[in-house]
Every structure is written in structure tokens, then in C-alpha cells.
Chain A
Amino acid sequence: MNFAKRACLYLIRKKGKTIILLAFLLAMATMMLTCISIQSATKDAAFNVRKGLMGSFTVNAKHLEGGLTEEVLHQILSIDGLSGNYTLRSYTQASLLDKLGDALEIEIDGAASVPEGFEHAGKIVANSNSEKDTYFTEAGFQLVEGNAIISEEKGVVLIHEDFAKRNHLSIGDTMMLGNIEDKKLHIEVTVKGIFTNTKEQDSLGIVPSYDLYENIVFTDINTCSYLLFADFGQSCQYGDFYMDDPEELDAIMEIVKAIPDVSWQDCVITKYDKDYQNARDALVSLQDIVYVAIVVITAICFIILSLLLIFRLRNRVYEMGVLLAMGISKSAILMQQLMEVLIVAAFAFVLAFVSSSFIAQQVGDSLLSQTISANYETVDLTNSKTKNKSKEETNNMAALAEVKLAEIKVSISIIDYVLVWIAGILICVISTTLAIIPILRMKPKNILTQMS
């Protein structure tokens, strides 16, 4: 009878023991595979945290001739690692005229001075997303009518409630913005929205007339590009670019500075990643904990695995004595033992793939349902809170949606699976061999006369 046949017969004859061994190897392999899948899922989650902390950099090209042109903009946006979210901004002053070109009346109460040439001028704020402008986010501006300006638009403005009343303007009306120096340079625009300020201007009495809240006009990038550079493109003075991963911020800023044909020494590039810097240490130690956990579990699993295999062999000393006494070679006995373990291990590893995939699926689903229920919770709060609060919540939801968190994949890659196979088989072979050597060194007589 050859060792392979003997191994198979043993496994069939001792069903109980085989099942225990199988259960054991299955538990270990499942644990290893789940560990690995959780490790990679944690990496995804940590990436999402970094993404949520949002790093950005701002290119200040105010002193760059021609501003930040559309071509450079495309080059920056094509860099890998940018989230695709960006804000373009320009600031200037322009004469506010009606559609016939006659001057409109501005607020002058509260102004320190009305500079010469600016008697009918207001501050022009161009933003590719007017909602995100600091006047709206910090200074307490609020739209009372109409809609915010979004990037694709051309020839639209938002005006102050006060200015609208003073000049009998309402949504849909047209007016004109004129370059202060070059009187011939003007552009027709449509009133898209009317805003008001919820906080008082704290600089009353020291600002020039055009900076008064009432005289501020928001417009789109194209219109401002025409006013500033006489160019109908997307040229602008400032660009804020948001990152996928704030960790790469420095590297990407270097790539930006390497874009040719732009005199970068005239630009100021500033990075904004305070939230990331604040959270960085905590995030790194959280990841370290996961890493250490995986290492500790793996190491202890391997130790337990080899101990159990040794334990199993020690119970079969007597059997080996009999086999040796029958004249079966030591290598054949070793091969039989290895064969037994490996057959069971093969079954266990195949089953482990199924069981750990199942666990991974469950974990993935629970993470998903957690996110969904978190969203529901927020929606619930919106309904019950005061109006002001609900607006805040909606903003937060919008912010969350904007981050576009990556889906966390709790799954087992083929490479990891193969690694577990290799490591598992190595452990089985090494610990079986090491455990069997001292037994096989003994003479059959000594083994069989041992008391059990």
C-alpha cells in the first residue's frame, strides 16, 4: 500500500478527526483572508478620510500678464490626483450701466470716498460658482431671488437687493458692465439673481464707494475675462484646485510649477490643507493600529497553526511506531502525514475563499447601509430643525456629495488568495516535518513500549 492510499484511507477512516482538522484549517484560512481584505478596505477608508479633509491649492495669477489662461487651466486640470473640483475667480471694478449705456445709481452712504472715475462703479466679483464665494460663505450674503451663477454661464450677474430697487431692476432685465479705463469696452449682461447681506459691513466709513456691499455685482468668469483681458475665454486671476488626496498636494504643486510657458515667479501658489495637517497624526496612528493588528493576528495565527499540527502528530506516535515496525520507510511516513494535512488544507483553503468572501460581502453591505442610514438621519434632522439650521445641514450634505467618497471594497484579491495558499502550505509542511523528525528518530521498539 503506498503512502497516498494510506493517507486517503486514514482521512476516511477517522472522519471525526479529519473534520476537526478541516474546521481548524478553515477557521485559520478564513481569518487570514478576512484580515487581508479588511486591511485593504481600511486603506480605502483612510483614503476617503483624507479626501474628506480636502486639500487644495490656489494659484494667484493676478500679476501674471493675461491671467490664468484657458490653456494653462486645461494643463493643470489634466494632472492626475486633482479631484476635478475647482473654482475660478476674478475681481475688478466696472461701471454699472443700463442697457442703453446710461449710468446707474450706486450707494454712496457709508463710503469713505467716491474715487474719480468710479462714480457709477461697483466691485465685480467673478466666480465660477457664486455660491462658494467668500461673500456668500463668510460675509453672510444670501440670494433672495433667482439662482447662483454656475461655471458654464455667460453674460449673467447677481445684484444687491438695494441696488435693484434703486435702479428698478428685476430678474431677467439687462444691464451693462463697462471697463473703467477703456470706455469702449463694455458687455451686456442679464440679471440672474438678487442677493442681500445678513451681516452688517464692518468697514463702513473707510471703504471706497465701489466696495460697499450694495454696489457689489457678481458675474461669470467669461464676462469678467472680457472686461479684464478683452477675451471671451475662461481666463481668470485666481484658481482654487481641490485634491483627491491631500497627501499628494506638495507633489502636484511641483508639477503645476513645471508647466512651461508660464512665468510662475509672477504667481503665488498657496496650499490649503490645515484640516489634513490637523488630522494627519491621528489618522496615521489609526492606520498604524490596523497595521499592527493585522501583523499581530497573522503572527499568532501562524504560531497556533503550527502548534496544532504538532499536537495532532503527537497523538499519532503509536501509529508511527507500528508503521516503522512494519518496515515502512521514514520518508513514506513523512509523505503520508504531509499528504493528509495537505489534502485537508486544500479543501479548507477552497472553502475559506467562499466563507471569507461571504464575510467580506456582509461587512461591505453593513458599511453601505451605515452610510445610507447616516444620510437618512441627516435628512430627518433637517425636517425638525429651524430653517437656519436646515440650510447648514443641506450645505453639509452638498459638501459630502462633492467629496465623492470612493466606494470601500471589502474583497479578496487573487494575489492575496495565492499568498494565503503559499503561506498556509509552507506552514503545514514545515511544522509537520519539524514535529515528525524527533518521532521518526526513535526506534520502533522504544515507541511501542512507551506507556500511553
Chain B
Amino acid sequence: MSLFKRAILYIIRKWKKTLLIFFILFAVSTLVISGLAISDAQEEQSAGLRGTTGVSFSVGRNLSTGGRGNGNGGSYSTQEYISNEMIDSIAKIEGIKSYNASYKTILSLADKKGTALEQINRKGIAAVDCQFYSFGAINSEYNSLFLSGTLVMEEGQHITSSVGDGIIISKDIADKHNLKIGDSILAVNDPYSNDPTKELKIMGLFTVVADKTDEKSNYNMSSYYDYTEYAFISMPAMRELLVNYDDATEYDSADFFVSDPEQLEIVIQNVQNISSINWDNFIITANDEVYERVASSVSDIGSLISTLIVLIILVSVVIIVLILSMWMRSRKKEIGVLLSVGVSKPAILLQYIIETFLIAVIAFPSAYLLSQNVAGSFGSLFGKSATNILVTPQHFMVVAIVGCVLLVLSTIISCVPVMRYKPKEILSQMD
């Protein structure tokens, strides 16, 4: 009788035991596959969590190295401004997910018929009452007012670099003048000069969340305008509006947002290596305070989960080794009988390995199929979302390959001590 046939016959004859071994292998491999999937999900989620801290760096003019000039507004710096080319070349660096730069000016707004849009709290001077503190924005979503939650988009879309003539105004102003998304607004920088008037489409409406009366924000020009008197305008339109002003194509500062906070240092280094920019004239400031405050705790969670997964794998290995040695020990007599009828030791070993493999061949794939659902169903059972826990074929491959090696090794290890004895010694042992 060939050893292969013997193996199959044993499995069928002892189907209850086979079934038990099968279930144990199945459970252990489900555990390990789920563990690997959980570990991956954790890493992804941690990266996501780090990403929400909005790490960025700003490039600003270095006023300490530039010269100074004098004008009617007092002394001012003659330092180089940040150009569009500069922003483009920085934005090309890998790891930067988005960027924004603003040009601020005061625009007078009117509806399509030319009727001035009055502010919520009128000051009583017609020329001032239709003035809006306006940001020319590349990506308005990344304007610090939206990032900090001071303003929240209520309806519509943010301005992106692909928008030509778009404007975002406050919902209060829109309601006051019966304007809605898609309506047009006329904008002009200085109505008493030959500045051009442009028609802009309302893209979005924001609502004010923060307390504007808090004087902590009264450190610059914006503080003289209520948040409802703010407007965000797409950059191409802004440039056309300010066509009469030389410096309107350049910026005081620009913010660049990094997709992975861990890469911030490297990204900044790469930016500093851009040779076309004279870095003596600019300052880079990293804004990663929030990330710094949470990073160590997030990685603590990561280490804790990794420990757990390592433990799972170790315990699984122990279980597999133990269960196989329990099995082999219970078959001592059988080994003795086979040896005494002249079956060679390698043949006996091979028969046992084939038996375990036959079980594993079914157990591993079924564990793979089950573990795809196990996390989800346990999750929903306790009202937790586990949609991030995804089992991939890679996880299965790892378990299948490592599992098979482990099965062979532990079969050999648990059989060898028995086989060292002579058949007579084995068979005369009391059980």
C-alpha cells in the first residue's frame, strides 16, 4: 500500500479527528490572516489620522535680508516677492498635495444689474458699504480661515486652480441680496479709477462659525471687516481685476500642504534644493504643531497593535506545534506497528506530512474566505465599523507559505523522538 493511499485512508477512517485538526488549523489561520489584515488597516488608519493634522509649510519673504524703501505709507521692505513660477516649481516637488497663496485686496461688489451689494451692518457711506475684504485664492479650501474652521462652506464648491471666474461670498450677504449659486456678481477693485470690472460666478457660500468680535484677530487689515464682508475670488479673475497694479501677480507668502506629515522634513529639504530660487530672500516655516502633539500617541497605538499581532502570530505558531505534537504522540503505537512491519522512517514521516497537508489544503483557503467576513461581522455585531480591515491575497500567501513550512517542521520535530525508539520499545510501552 502506497504511503499516499495510507494517508488518505487514515484521514477518512479517523474523520472525527481529521475534522478537529481541520477546525483548529482553520481557526488558527483565520486568526493570523485577520491579524495581518488588522495590522495593515491600522497602519493605513494611522497614516490617515496623521494626515488629518494638516501639516504644511509656508514660504514667506525674508524681511531681514531685503532693503527698505520709503513711501507715503511709511517705510516698507523692498524684498523680493513670491512669484507664480516659484509656486509652480515648489508645487512640483513630490509629497506636496496642495498649495494656496492669497492676494488680498478690497473689492467693491455689485449684482448683475450694477446695484451695489451692501454689507450686513451698513456704515452709512455708500462707497464703503459695498467693500469686501477679498482673497484671490488658488485653492480656497486651504485658506487658513477655512482650515481653522473660522468659516465653513455651506453650499457649493471651493475655488481650485482650474477655476477661471469664480467667487465665494457669505451666505448672509447672498440671502440679503437674493443671490444663489450660479448667479453673477460684478467686481471692481477701485470704482473711481480705470480698473476693469469683471463678472464673476458665485461658486460657493460660506457661513461664519468663529466669534469675530474676539479682538485676538485684530492684528491686521482683515480685522476692520466683518467675516460676512469677506470674499474669495479665483486667482485668474483677481489678476485681471488688478491688471493696473504691478505687484498683483506676486505674493507675500504661500502655503504648501504635505500629504504625509512624516515626509515634511524631506519635502522641505527638497524645496530648499530648488536652484532657481534664491533662498536668502525667503523663509520657510513648518506648520506641524498639531502633528507634533499627536504623532507620538498615534505611533503608540501602532506599536500596541503591532505587539498584539506579533503575539497572535507567536501564539499561533505555538498552538500549531502543540496540536501536531499532541496528535503525533497519540499515534505512537501506530508508528511502532508501521516500523515493525518494515515501513521506513522517512515513509512514515512523509505519510504524516501528507495527511497534515491534505487537511491544510482545505483549511487555509477556507480560512482566507472566512476571514474576509470575520472582521466585518464582528465589527457590525458590536456596532463598530471595520470596513477598513481588508484581507488581501498577500495575507493568504504569507499564511499559506509560512503555515506549510511550520506544519512540516513541527511534524518532523514531534515524530523524531518517537522514531528514535525500537518498535519493540514503543509497543511494549504502557499507555
Contact = CB atoms under 8 A, between A and B. Distances in A.
B303 A28 contact: no
Given A45-B298, A300-B34, 16 more contacts: A41-B304, A48-B296, A52-B294, A109-B74, A274-B148, A279-B49, A289-B389, A290-B304, A293-B34, A293-B308, A296-B34, A296-B374, A307-B20, A307-B27, A370-B296, A388-B283
Interface in A129-145: 133-135, 138-139
Given A363-B303, A400-B292, A288 B220 contact: no
B301 A49 contact: yes
Interface string B214-239: 11111111011000000000000000
Nearest to A48: B297
B23 interface: yes
B308 A35 contact: yes
Given A27-B318, A238-B216, A291-B384, A314 B300 contact: no
29 contacts: A46-B297, A49-B298, A49-B301, A52-B294, A134-B217, A199-B60, A200-B63, A268-B214, A285-B48, A285-B385, A286-B298, A288-B384, A289-B388, A292-B382, A295-B381, A299-B378, A300-B27, A300-B34, A303-B23, A303-B27, A304-B28, A307-B27, A311-B326, A363-B307, A366-B303, A388-B284, A389-B286, A399-B292, A400-B293
Contacts of B385: 285, 288
A279 B265 contact: no
B76 interface: yes
Contact of B77 (A200, A275, A292): A200
B311 A53 contact: no
B303 A292 contact: no
A42 interface: yes
A-B CB proximity, top 8 nearest: A274-B149, A52-B293, A203-B221, A110-B74, A48-B297, A52-B294, A282-B49, A288-B384
A179 interface: no
B285 A277 contact: no
A60 B52 contact: no
Interface of A: 16-17, 20, 23-24, 27-28, 30-31, 34-35, 38, 41-42, 45-46, 48-49, 51-54, 58, 60, 62, 89, 91, 109-110, 133-135, 138-139, 198-207, 211, 237-238, 268, 270, 272, 274-275, 277-279, 282-283, 285-286, 288-297, 299-301, 303-304, 307-308, 310-312, 314-315, 318, 359, 363, 366-367, 370-371, 374, 381, 388-389, 392, 395-397, 399-400, 403, 405, 408, 410, 452
Given A278-B54, A279-B53, A285 B27 contact: no
Interface string B37-53: 01001100110110111
A389 B21 CA distance: 61
Nearest to B24: A307
Interface string B241-283: 0000000000000000000000001000000000000000001
A286 B39 CA distance: 11
Interface residues of B, number: 96
B406 interface: no
Interface in B300-323: 300-301, 303-305, 307-308, 311-312, 315, 318-319, 322-323
Interface of B: 16-17, 20-21, 23-24, 27-28, 30-31, 34-35, 38, 41-42, 45-46, 48-49, 51-54, 60, 63-64, 72-74, 76-77, 104, 147-149, 210-211, 213-221, 223-224, 265, 283-286, 288-290, 292-301, 303-305, 307-308, 311-312, 315, 318-319, 322-323, 325-327, 329-330, 333, 374-375, 378-379, 381-382, 384-386, 388-389, 431
Interface SS of chain B: helix
Given A139-B220, A311-B24, A238 B379 contact: no
Contacts of B318: 23-24, 27
Nearest to B305: A290
B42 A289 contact: yes
A293 B34 CA distance: 8
Contact of A304 (B17, B27, B215, B298): B27
